[in-house]
């Protein structure tokens, strides 16, 4: 009897691992390609100059804030859609997609207008060096098209992922990333008779690739039977779903924006400490992105799987699935740190930056080799497992206190009041993930996040 029970548990574990890997691997591949594009940008701009690398790195912080807005909206949609997919309610999923689009389109439009008409003012937030401001403004002015396309594609792809269609999302992202790299080379190096445009070429390549991705989403939408990308969905009305979306998405959005803005403030602090540390930070960010590829994949895949199970009202199965997800998180966190250490000699050898920046880079990579574990655990719990059960409020409170009441003030004090050495400032900023571990892990163990958030007998206007 015990043997049969043990075999049954082993089969359940294998089934869950299979489901997790089917979700995680395509998402991880997307993350890998995204990191590869960022890496390609840095490598190619390396031949333009250190100022070009620094300017694009700082300007990208503005884009990162918008990404956090889209990520928060996409997460809100995923929280609801994954559970409604568990009960196969496609009408509710379409309504949630429309609600998310109502927020993402205005956000994309606002960021695009600011980037086009006020790029210099935006850049002055991140640095006081005139050369970086000029180059960054050139980059931002051409990014508007990318922002507008992004506002549509990110919501649609998030909904597709939430119903398990991660391969479609993976293919469309591969298309965008591949075109981005090719066009970067064309416009940075002036291939095939094209002009050498430097940082402007990077922006053009990004905008064109995002436009092609939007076209790809439209083509997929034509073939999809249940979930389509249609602007008419913004007019589908359901007060209960809107209430649920706002209740869950707004804290998630606030959490991601607070986190993204705080990270941007880290760049502001470092940006006012000189171009050497900015150049080093831009490179180490790319390396860290490679190291967190699997970690973020596990977080996203875990959110979808646990959400589907909770939508079926299988609470204990959801707890067990979350436990398996956390095991994978620890493993991928260790692998991520090992990746940073393994590539460190090659990155240092090939980086065309000043000796001062190179010294910063060495220390920063060592710090990030363990920082990835902190990021992995918190991302999987806060942005994955907790949100699968509709608990996005905890993450908002946790990150606002941790980053805005602790890390950002500490960074400013260390840099501009205590005037500590640059690497001490960076080290203190990188304590943020570990400070919140006790509260995050405690919330996970309590099981308060396990909730079915679907509704019955929904009516639409």
| 8-29 per-position pLDDT tens digit | 556 667 777 777 778 777 877 7
| 359-409 per-position pLDDT tens digit | 999 999 999 999 999 999 999 999 889 999 889 899 999 999 999 999 999
HEC profile of the chain: CHHHHHHHHHHHHHHHHHHHHHHHHHHHHHHHHHHHHHHHHHHHHCCCCHHHHHHHHHHHHHHHHHHHHHHHHHHHHHHHHHHHHHCCCHHHHHHHHHHHHHHHHHHHHHHHHHHHHCHHHHHHHHCCCHHHHHHHHHHHHCCHHHHHHHHHHHHHHHHHHHCCCHHHHHHHHHHHHHHHHHHHHHHHHCHHHCCCCCHHHHHHHHHHHHHHHHHHHHHHHHHCCCCCCCHHHHHCCCHHHHHHHHHHHHHHHHHHHHHHHHHHHHHHHHHCCCHHHHHHHHHHHHHHHHHCHHHHHHHHHHHHHHHHHHHCCCHHHHHHHHHHHHHHHHHHHHHHHHHHHHHHHHHHHHCCCCHHHHHHHHHHHHHHHHHHHHHHHHHHHHHHHHHHCCCCHHHHHHHHHHHHHHHHHHHHHHHHHCCCCHHHHHHHHCCHHHHCHHHHHHHHHHCCCCCCCCCCCCCCC
Read off the pLDDT of each residue in 251-275 and give the average, rounded to a whole number.
85
Read off the pLDDT of each residue in 261-283 and give the average, rounded to a whole number.
86
| 185-235 per-position pLDDT tens digit | 888 888 887 788 888 888 888 889 889 999 999 999 998 878 888 888 888
Read off the pLDDT of each residue in 58-67 and give the average, rounded to a whole number.
81
| 232-241 per-position pLDDT tens digit | 888 888 888 9
The pTM of this model reads 0.78
């Amino acid at each position: 009897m015990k043997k049969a029970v043990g075999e049954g548990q082993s089969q359940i574990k294998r089934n869950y691992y299979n489901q997790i890997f089917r979700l995680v691997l395509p998402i991880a591949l997307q993350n890998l390609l995204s990191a590869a594009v960022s890496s390609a940008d840095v490598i190619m701009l390396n031949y333009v100059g250190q100022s070009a690398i620094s300017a694009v790195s700082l300007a990208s912080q503005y884009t990162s804030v918008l990404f956090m807005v889209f990520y928060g909206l996409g997460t809100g949609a995923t929280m609801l859609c994954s559970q409604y997919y568990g009960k196969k309610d496609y009408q509710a999923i379409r309504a949630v997609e429309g609600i998310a689009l109502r927020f993402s389109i205005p956000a994309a439009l606002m960021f695009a207008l600011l980037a086009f008409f006020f790029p210099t003012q935006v850049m002055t937030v991140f640095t006081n060096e005139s050369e970086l401001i000029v180059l960054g403004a050139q980059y931002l002015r051409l990014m508007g098209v990318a922002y507008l396309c992004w506002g549509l594609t990110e919501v649609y792809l998030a909904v597709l992922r939430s119903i398990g269609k991660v391969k479609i999302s993976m293919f469309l992202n591969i298309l965008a990333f591949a075109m981005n790299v090719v066009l970067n080379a064309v416009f940075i190096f002036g291939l095939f008779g094209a002009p050498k445009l430097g940082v402007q070429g990077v922006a053009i390549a990004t905008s064109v690739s995002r436009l092609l991705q939007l076209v790809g989403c439209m083509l997929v939408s034509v073939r999809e039977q249940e979930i389509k990308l249609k602007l008419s969905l913004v007019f589908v009305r359901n007060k209960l779903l809107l209430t649920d979306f706002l209740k869950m998405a707004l804290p998630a959005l606030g959490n991601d924006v607070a986190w993204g803005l705080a990270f941007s403030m880290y760049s502001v602090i470092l940006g006012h400490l000189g171009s050497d540390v900015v150049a080093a930070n831009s490179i180490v960010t790319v390396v860290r992105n490679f190291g967190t590829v699997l970690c973020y994949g596990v977080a996203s895949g875990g959110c979808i799987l646990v959400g589907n199970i909770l939508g079926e009202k299988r609470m204990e199965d959801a707890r067990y699935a979350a436990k398996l997800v956390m095991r994978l998180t620890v493993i991928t966190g260790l692998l991520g740190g090992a990746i940073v250490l393994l590539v460190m000699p090659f990155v240092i050898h090939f980086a065309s930056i000043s000796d001062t920046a190179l010294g910063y880079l060495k220390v920063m990579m060592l710090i990030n080799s363990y920082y990835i574990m902190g990021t992995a655990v918190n991302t999987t719990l806060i942005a994955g497992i907790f949100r699968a059960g509709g608990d996005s409020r905890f993450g908002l409170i946790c990150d606002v206190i941790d980053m805005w009441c602790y890390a950002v003030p500490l960074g400013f004090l260390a840099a501009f009041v205590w005037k500590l050495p640059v690497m001490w400032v960076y080290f203190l900023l990188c304590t943020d993930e570990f400070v919140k571990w006790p509260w995050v892990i405690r919330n996970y163990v309590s099981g308060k996040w396990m909730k079915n958030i679907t509704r019955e007998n929904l009516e639409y206007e």
